[in-house]
Amino acid sequence: MSRITDKLTSLGIALPEAPKPVASYIPALKVGNLLYVSGQIPFQDGELVYKGAVPTNCSPEKAAQAARICAINGLAAAQQALGGDLDQVKGVVRLGVFVASEPDFNGQPLIANGASDLMVEIFGEDGQHVRAAVGSIALPLGASVEVEMILELRS
**Interface residues toward a second copy, by CB under 8 A:** 21-29, 31-34, 36-39, 53, 93-96, 98, 101-109, 112-113, 116-117, 119-120, 127-143, 146, 148, 152
Provide the minimum distance between the beta carbon of 147 and a second copy in the complex, in angstroms, as a whole number: 9
Contact criterion met (CB below 8 Å) for 16 and 80:
no
Count Cβ neighbours within 10 Å for each residue of 107-126 and write b for 16 or more, e otherwise: bbebbbbbbbebbeebbeee
Q: Which is nearer to a second copy, 62 or 108 (CB)?
A: 108
**Residue 154 near residue 35, CB atoms below 8 Å:** no
**98 CB contacts (<8 Å, ≥6 apart)?**
39, 134, 135, 136, 139, 145, 146, 147
CB of 65 vs a second copy, minimal distance in Å: 16
Residues 51, 63: Cα–Cα separation, whole Å: 9
Q: Which is nearer to a second copy, 1 or 86 (CB)?
A: 86
Cβ proximity of 20 and 77 under 8 Å: no
Least Cβ distance, residue 56 to a second copy (angstroms): 11
How many other C-beta atoms are found inside a 10 Å radius of the C-beta of residue 82?
17
- Give 1 or 154: the residue with its C-beta nearer to a second copy: 154
Distance CA 87, CA 98 (A): 27
For the bound state, the minimum distance from the C-beta of residue 155 to a second copy, rounded and expressed in Å, comes to 10
- Please say which residue, 87 or 148, places its beta carbon nearer to a second copy: 148
Which residue lies nearer to a second copy by CB, 1 or 57?
Answer: 57
Supply the minimum distance, in Å, between the C-beta of residue 58 and a second copy: 13
